[in-house]
Amino acid sequence: MAVERTLILAKGDALVRGLVGEILARYERRGYTILGLKLMQVSRDQAQRHYAEHEGKPFFAGLVDYITATPVVALVVEGHDAIEGCRATNGATNPIKATPGTVRGDFGQTVGRNLVHASDSPAAAEREVAIFFHDAELFTRAHALAAWLAE
Ligand code: IDP
Ligand code: MG
């Protein structure tokens, strides 16, 4: 068991369908700490770096279009084995294979519109967090608590 950080994206279909709150609540209720959170427009350069492992695959261009067509909600969460845990919360990549009770299993139909992203390894998490967040945009619960106690 390790305390890990991971990058989550609620992709454009989650935003357009009004499911962001519902989806984010699942990570929160699971006990993960939100360290960073923003609504943002992903540039094509960010998208291509983020999905570099898929370059050359037939769906790559569509994937870059998907992630850059609308704003997305990006977040960094932290918790015990958060990388595996958040991917389990998301469910299988293809929603038709995703277990009911997961985000994709509850809200998705097709692999091309599968609502969420979560990093798949510690190395990927570190790389992906750096694509979407500056260090100064990440806060711990202790930051918020200290400010609240100082009131
Ligand atoms: P993951 O998001 O579960 O980690 P990956 O295999 O890393 O899945 O694929 C990244 C994203 O690319 C998927 O979430 C999905 O949006 C898209 N994708 C993967 N395979 C296909 C496909 O066969 N057709 C269309 N889009 C795909
Ligand atoms: Mg992946």
* Domain annotation for the chain: domains and CATH numbers: 3-150 (3.30.70.141)
Q: pLDDT digit string (tens) for 100-113?
A: 999 999 999 999 99
Residue closest by Cα to atom 5 of ligand 1: 93
**Global pTM?**
0.96
Among all residues, which ones are annotated catalytic?
Answer: 117
Query: Within 6-151, where are the H helices?
Result: 12-16, 20-29, 44-50, 60-68, 82-90, 103-107, 122-132, 141-149
pLDDT confidence of residue 145: 86
Pick from 140, 144, 17, 139: nearest CA to 73? 17
Q: pLDDT digit string (tens) for 2-17?
A: 999 999 999 999 999 9
70's torsion region: left (phi>0), alpha (psi -120 to 50) or beta? Answer: beta
Q: Mean per-residue pLDDT for 36-54?
A: 98
93 CB near ligand 1 (under 6 Å): yes
- What is the signed CA dihedral for 14, 81, 25, 123, rounded to 10 degrees? -30
